[in-house]
Structure 1
Amino acid sequence: MKLTILGGGGFRVPLVYQALLSDQGEGRITSVTLYDTDRQRLNAITAVLKQQALSFADAPVVTPTTDLDEALRGADFVFSAIRVGGLEGRTIDERVALDLGVLGQETVGAGGIAYGLRTLPVATAIAQRVAVLAPDAWVINFTNPAGMVTESMLPYLGDRVIGICDSPSGLGRRAALALGLDASQTFYDYAGLNHLGWLRKLEYGGVDHLPSLLADSSALGQFEEGRLFGVEWLRSLGSIPNEYLHYYYFARETLAAVQSVEKTRGKFLLEQQSDFYAETARHPGDALELWQKTRAERESTYMVESREVADAGERDERDMSAGGYEQVALSLMRAIAHNERASLILNVRNRGTLEHLDDDAVVEIPCTVDANGARPITVSQLTDHQAGLVSSVKAVERSTIEAAASGSRATALRAFAWHPLIDSVNTAGKLLDGYVDHLPELSAFRA
């Protein structure tokens, strides 16, 4: 089978390839095509993958290309992992917002809207090419903002596009392990949107163990979300939020923490990865070693501002070694390709699962996956608080999708003004103008 990775020069691609190398099952991926518009990045990642494959006699063949149509033809699966505007764009997303006293995280709030506005036209164009050149392919979307991008591709690909994220499964796994449960046999009643969801039940052996976890202060202190949100707040909620909800529940403190550091996350990653790609170009024989060193530093500093606000300490080593979105992607591919029934938390059409949203709204919920794709599993309904926040952010997502398709400034302004982390229409207008001034892709929204 052929897998095509769009954004094939991206830093996290070797994680996907490593997962493919570990898959020795029948009918596995035998051909990987890497597509990217940046030849230097493509060459660097190709070098890393070749060195990963050295100890595997039957490693999937890697083919790099800068031709999108060539990459798509004959694909059985397409991973979309593009970053329109690169990390340079991410630093702008963050800085414009911070200069106006607003959080600019790349998928949450103002930064996520700006990122979406320039990414959605490219994502929908890709979806249209997939529909023509590889109509039987399954598209697995990694591109952020994942829920928004997946929903924008639905009109062209239908249920053959599925969004993935490792945050929900990681949360569930950590919560289960904190109680000594077998994470692989535990059902996670989780629901919401991408980067905006809650774990409401932790079912093992027919029993919901979440109340026991919430009652055990020691167990809550053993994993990331327990330390991030604190015992009192988690017990008040009666659920465990996705780590990204820290930006909502502790917005003031997180903003202050981000403003106090010399470099934003985007700036740090831009400098770090620029050094990696440049060094790999000079020393291609050391590509894998350079990548491993850079990745370890990247992972250890993930969401560092939020952990500092909560005094949560260093990131748990188990979180960095357990595998992330690449394992979710591999499980999804195998379930579809081999009709191996699996339960995964995915970004799919709602189909009546959450009563507060319409059927076509992309939500992040547990699904049963087999050769027919992903189907939502019945979960408990959102509380009023959860439904209110989810509905507000879904309205923002849809305004962003509409604005990206139409070029309407009024619709783009509405997306900024409606977001819960932006508390002024005047500020929303300044944000839009700031992004227009710094991002050529948004010139259509100029006043």
Structure 2
Amino acid sequence: MLGGGGFRVPLVYQALLSDRGEGRITSVTLYDTDRTRLDAITAVLKQQADRTDDSSSAPVVTATTDLDEALRGTDFVFSAIRVGGLEGRTVDERVALDLGVLGQETVGAGGIAYGLRTLPVATAVARRVAAVAPEAWVINFTNPAGMVTEAMLPYLGDRVIGICDSPSGLGRRAALALGLDASQTFYDYAGLNHLGWLRGLQSGGVDHLPKLLADSESLGDFEEGRLFGASWLRSLGAIPNEYLHYYYFARETLAAVQSVEKTRGKFLLDQQSDFYAETTRRPGDALELWQKTRAERESTYMVESREVADAGERDERDMSAGGYEQVALSLMRAIAHNERASLILNVRNRGTLRHLDDDAVVEVPCTVDANGARPLTVSQLTDHQAGLVSAVKAVERSTIEAAATGSRSTALRAFAWHPLIDSVNTATKLLDGYAERLPDLAAYRSRIG
């Protein structure tokens, strides 16, 4: 697990502990550049294992700050790194907000800045995986997930697969709102990571989405229905991923974010700094401290967007349901044991969406088995959806090119082309602000003056 000292690592380990199937994961190596964080998370994992019915069967955990040591002999590499840490995220947010632009970590200006400093590290990791563990499968959860996955493809091919829990979570919530069996429902979902739409809920040979869109009470029973509102969802004829709230209600969300004392990044930075410090002082209480911190973190997720929509507090069902860790576990089991599964993943397009070329990484339902993930047939994007997806894909690819070449003009193009940045002049100020405040982006500074 790359980023093994990260706060959400215990979620993945808990999923591994719950797996009692034959051929389950037997050992986990945590890799991180920060030994203090590694020690804290290792303590949490040990206490998780100790509280299981059979701790002797728990996956053995080791920790290292040596990447090659972590990679040798591995079957799966789970990548969830945060280059620049939460300190970098706070800069991503603040530079944008000071210029009147949304600064969310994966959407718009913040996502581009995050990508520019993350992609060189992610591609370096991909090269090491190819050299040290060429048979390993890489499960990428490093954000911006679609962009990072596409950047790793030249080195790993189809052995890198991006994951996110947002699409499956949306589909599950929509199915449950109608009383459908979520495990037996096919989600006709397509787009890019954090930029997709649910266009069908197929169960028993029937698409139940029209019924859901016509039922205001059912729409009000789950997160996205409250977030976007029944009227707008009916107009779209689809249910957007929650991150599209930043596009459809950009002005209101920007105002809400600017009105709070702390950005999301600053909140998490303060919260997690306290957690790691307290865990160092009280290692015997590591699990209890982690659980308390996580509950607060989850309850405040996308709080500004929910306030804009008057959507109330986050549904307890969303907080308790399995997230990306369950997607990762299902993906690993399907590949390792040829257990056929259907999952929404970030993979090569391969003709699935006709508006994009074959090598573009898209987020669509896939069939997974020992041969990896293959995209399934989905309904084509509408003109509106295709236009937004194509525009953001162009931004992603400019960001990938800029990260590979260090080209300021290419980086500027990425900022200027994004739908949430409405001026080339603002794009220039954004790039200058990030280059000034983020050491990893110093190469993009203006050479004039």
TM-score relative to the length of structure 1: 0.99
Distance 1:27 1:411 in 2: 47
**Cα-to-partner distance string for 1:290-349 (whole Å, 9 max, x where unaligned):** 000000000000000000000000000000001100000000000000000000000000
Write the distance in 2 (CA, Å) between the matches of 1:132 and 1:209: 47
Q: Tell me, in whole angstroms, the C-alpha distance in 1 between the residues paired with 2:193 and 2:16.
A: 25
Q: Distance in 1 between matches of 2:433 and 2:322?
A: 37
Q: How far apart, CA to CA, are the structure 2 residues paired with 1:134 and 1:35?
A: 15
Does the residue aligned with 1:336 lie in a helix, a strand or coil? helix
1:7 matches 2:6: no
How many angstroms apart in 2 are the aligned matches of 1:334 and 1:72?
A: 19
Alpha-carbon distance between aligned partners in 2 of 1:259 and 1:445, rounded to the nearest angstrom: 27
Q: How does 1:76-115 map to 2 (within 5 A)?
A: 76-115=75-114
1:196 match: 195
Shift of 1:184: 0.3
Per-residue Cα deviation, 1:381-430 (whole angstroms, up to 9, x for no partner):
00000000000000000000000000000000000000000000000000
**1:169-195 C-alpha deviation (Å, 9 max, x unpaired):** 000000000000000000000000000
| 1-structure distance, mates of 2:179, 2:20 | 29
| Gap runs ≥5 in structure 1 | none
What residue is the counterpart of 1:358 in the other structure? Answer: 357
Deviations 1:196-242 (A, max 9, x none): 00000000101000000000000000000000000100000000000
**Local SS of the residue matching 1:328:** helix
SS in 1 for 2:74: coil
| Counterpart secondary structure, 1:10 | coil
Residue deviations 1:100-157, cap 9 Å, x none? 0000000000000000000000000000000000000000000000000000000000
- Name the structure 1 match of 2:32: 36
CA distance in 2: counterparts of 1:142 and 1:392, whole angstroms: 23
Identity of aligned residues (%): 90
CA distance in 2, matches of 1:337, 1:216: 41
What's 1:215 paired with? Answer: 214
Q: Give the distance between the partners of 1:304 and 1:239, measured in 2 at CA.
A: 23
Question: Partners in 1 of 2:198 and 2:291 — Cα distance?
Answer: 32
Question: SS at 2:56's partner residue?
Answer: coil
Write the mapping of 1:68-79 to structure 2, written as runs, cut at 5 A.
68-79=67-78
- Specify the SS of the correspondent of 1:34: strand
**C-alpha deviation, 1:26, in angstroms:** 1.1
Distance 2:174 2:377 in 1: 21
Measured against aligned partners, the alpha-carbon deviations of 1:360-401 in whole angstroms (never above 9, x if no partner) come to: 000000000000000000000000000000000000000000
CA distance in 1, matches of 2:46, 2:272: 19
Q: Within 1, Cα distance between the matches of 2:336 and 2:118?
A: 29
1:298 corresponds to 2:294: no
Separation in structure 1 between the aligned mates of residue 146 and residue 437 of structure 2, nearest angstrom? 25
SS in 1 for 2:57: coil
In structure 1, what is the Cα distance between the partners aligned to 2:63 and 2:55? 19
Distance 1:187 1:25 in 2: 25
> How many angstroms apart in 2 are the aligned matches of 1:232 and 1:274?
42
SS in 2 for 1:57: helix
Q: Please show how residues 228-239 of structure 1 align to structure 2 within 5 Å.
A: 228-239=227-238
Question: Within 2, Cα distance between the matches of 1:384 and 1:444?
Answer: 38
Distance (whole Å) between structure 2 residues aligned to residue 446 and residue 72 of structure 1: 35
Residues 8-63 of structure 1: CA deviation (Å, up to 9, x unaligned): 0000000000000000111111010000000110000000000000x522100000
1:67-101 per-position Cα deviation (integer Å, ceiling 9, x unaligned): 00000000100001000000000000000000000
The corresponding residue for 2:316 is 317
2:345 partner SS: strand
C-alpha separation between the residues in 2 aligned to 1:282 and 1:181?
Answer: 47
SS of 1:6's equivalent in the other structure is coil
CA distance in 1, matches of 2:308, 2:11: 30
Structure 2 runs not aligned, ≥5 long: none
Whether 2:423 is the aligned partner of 1:427: answer no
d(CA) in 1 for partners of 2:396, 2:353: 17
Once residues 397 and 55 of structure 2 are traced to their aligned partners in structure 1, the CA distance between those partners, rounded to angstroms, is 45
The CA distance in 1 between the partners of 2:47 and 2:68, in whole Å, is: 27
C-alpha displacement of 1:279 = 0.1
Q: Distance in 1 between matches of 2:225 and 2:174?
A: 9
Aligned to 1:338: 337
Measured in 2, the distance between the counterparts of 1:303 and 1:50 equals 31
Aligned-partner Cα distance in 1 for 2:307–2:389? 26
Q: 1: CA distance between counterparts of 2:269 and 2:178?
A: 38
Q: Distance in 1 between matches of 2:68 and 2:112?
A: 29
Three-state SS of the structure 1 residue aligned to 2:311 is coil
Alignment coverage as a number of residue pairs: 442
Structure 1 runs of 4+ aligned residues shifted over 3 Å read none
Q: Report the CA distance between 1:167 and its aligned residue.
A: 0.1
Could you say what secondary structure the match of 1:367 adopts?
A: strand
